[in-house]
């Protein structure tokens, strides 16, 4: 039996959603509510986050295998697989391993490239800080980047939830995730071979995985569309759920009509 904790709601073509770092499935709360009106939505907590226990070291590839195992167990493939940032890295690893189990991909605030030498150095420094200061180090480093100024001004409750998710992480969960993020494989060469429709979503103010990179992914994937989310930074699904839900619903409708 899979250790991965998940929530599911609704019926129809499965839509599986994977969260980013360092949050959990709650980042998709707006999508779970809305998209489950038309689809079977499955939101997974990756190891060490939310309600899924940490079970030692992992890679994006081993996470993809774990997610695949769960989906097989609960009869949820083929599916539309969506991932936010780190979840997007896992989604691309999943596609590379199990392309026939994918009906479409939703890549949100993410990228296909690996870490640059500078990003690797920053990860190593953050790992060192987490070791000494725990989740505060990650909150301090990431909070200013993951939500937009607009979200901070207009959606204080959203900011509180994001902060709570980050603060709930154990140092071990953060360290294992940072190592897996740092060591992930560059999947740029996979992009031209993705045969299924792909929806790319990015916050207009995302500085971690900026719109320019999203455009490059769109150009490299044969059947990709790009939606840029107003008033959002890196956690666009929780910052502007109405826009993101509309983009995903339109994508799912087009997939269903094929
Ligand atoms: C995430 O949101 O999952 C992270 O920002 C990904 C990363 O740091 O590469």
Which of 17, 18, 20 should be mutated for ligand 1, with most atoms under 8 A from CB?
Answer: 20
Closest C-alpha to 200, from 240, 146, 236: 236
**Residue 177 Cα, ligand 1 centroid: separation in angstroms?**
10
Distance CA 108, CA 202 (A): 6
Hey, what are 199's tokens?
């929806």
* Percent of the chain whose predicted confidence (pLDDT) is above 70: 100
Our answer on whether the CB atom of 181 is closer than 6 Å to any ligand 1 atom is yes
3-state secondary structure of 48: coil
Residue-level pLDDT at 13: 97
Distance CA 91, CA 225 (A): 17
Q: Answer whether residue 123 shows pLDDT above 80.
A: yes
**Residue 87 Cα, ligand 1 centroid: separation in angstroms?**
9
Contact indicator for 125, 102 with CB cutoff of 8 Å: no
Our answer on whether the CB atom of 60 is closer than 6 Å to any ligand 1 atom is no
Residue-level pLDDT at 51: 98
Distance CA 41, CA 9 (A): 5
Residue 228's DSSP bridge partners are 202
3-state secondary structure of 145: helix
Our answer on whether the CB atom of 20 is closer than 6 Å to any ligand 1 atom is yes
Taking residues 187-214, report their average pLDDT.
Answer: 98
Residue-level pLDDT at 43: 98
3-state secondary structure of 129: helix
Our answer on whether the CB atom of 39 is closer than 6 Å to any ligand 1 atom is no
């Amino acid at each position: 039996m899979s250790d991965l904790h998940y929530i599911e709601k609704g019926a129809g073509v499965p839509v599986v959603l994977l969260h980013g770092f360092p949050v959990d499935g709650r980042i998709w709360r707006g999508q779970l509510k809305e998209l489950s009106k038309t689809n079977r939505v499955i939101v997974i907590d990756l190891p060490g986050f939310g309600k899924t226990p940490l079970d030692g070291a992992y890679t994006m590839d081993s996470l993809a295998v774990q997610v695949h195992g769960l989906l097989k167990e609960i009869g949820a493939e083929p599916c539309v697989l969506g991932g936010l940032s780190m979840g997007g890295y896992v989604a691309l690893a999943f596609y590379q391993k199990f392309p026939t189990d994918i009906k479409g991909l939703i890549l949100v605030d993410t990228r296909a490239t690996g870490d640059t030498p500078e990003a690797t150095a920053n990860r190593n420094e953050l790992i060192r800080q987490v070791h000494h200061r725990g989740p505060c180090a990650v909150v301090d480093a990431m909070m200013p980047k993951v939500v937009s100024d607009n979200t901070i001004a207009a959606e204080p409750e959203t900011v509180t939830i994001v902060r709570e998710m980050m603060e709930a992480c154990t140092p071990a969960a953060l360290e294992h995730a940072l190592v897996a993020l740092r060591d992930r494989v560059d999947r740029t060469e996979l992009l031209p071979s993705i045969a299924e429709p792909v929806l790319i979503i990015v916050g207009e103010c995302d500085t971690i995985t900026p719109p320019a990179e999203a455009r490059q992914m769109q150009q490299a994937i044969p059947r990709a569309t790009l939606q840029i989310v107003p008033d959002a930074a890196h956690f666009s699904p929780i910052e502007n759920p109405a826009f993101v839900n509309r983009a995903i619903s339109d994508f799912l409708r087009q997939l269903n009509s094929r």
